[in-house]
Structure 1
């Protein structure tokens, strides 16, 4: 792979990662506007105010760029630098990933957490798992895709058509997490080979 291809790949990967990071930060900032001490729409009013502020910021930025097109060069340079930094390959990424996760890298600990979240149901959506983790101050700025990849790395079965409350999406089923019954694990004794 040539240097140019590697550089383009790094910018592409970094641009995606940086866009996801900005989106996650904006969503988290808007979500923090919710007030649990107020009932109904009044509690959610802060979210709408923050969404309005974000929309106003995008509108003003677009107006500035239309009025002074040269500003676009600065924005492009800023985005390229940020993407380059975000796309930096890390040799220790696989070693650092477990420390960022809410549960220990032990598969059984992850299974226990998932079974707890499933409760008496048949499965749980990954977005519900991610919301639970973020409520407890973990996996901030991460996406459902990040969680799915992490679970697949731990060999926890995930499925794209888990139906909870009538909605199918990515999730984990209870039957895939529970160990098989002892009767199912007993192997039949091998049949004696016929005498020659």
Structure 2
């Protein structure tokens, strides 16, 4: 991967992180508007008021940018700096999650189970399969893709599966057992004989 591609990937990853942080902070701020001393609709009025303030603030920002388009330059620079900083730790976090996460062979088995008799499976299907089993709560397809790639499982951009159109997915041909697993199997069968 070239230096430019790594930089673009870092900014894209960081941008996702910054957007999620902002959304989480806004949602937390709106939730804090709920009053515990009241019941019914009166308790939620604070949330609705904060949500209206947030929407009004976004509307004012939009109007300000429409009136002064050059304001986008400093906003863009600020966003890029924040994304660059947030993206700095993303590869380290992905590697850390991969090292503390599930075994590669267990993930391969899960993917083959979700795939069934087909030759490929969409990541959205795998994510639904995971969440049905109580794993990956709050994950998106991009989160699953990052975790699979960190484990060394290739994710293809256009995979047809289950009669649906092409989207990101995993192919059965890429899920061949690792050489270590093959060696362990052959060692176990030779010691049993």
Tell me the TM-score normalized by structure 2. 0.49
Give the structure with the larger helix fraction: 2
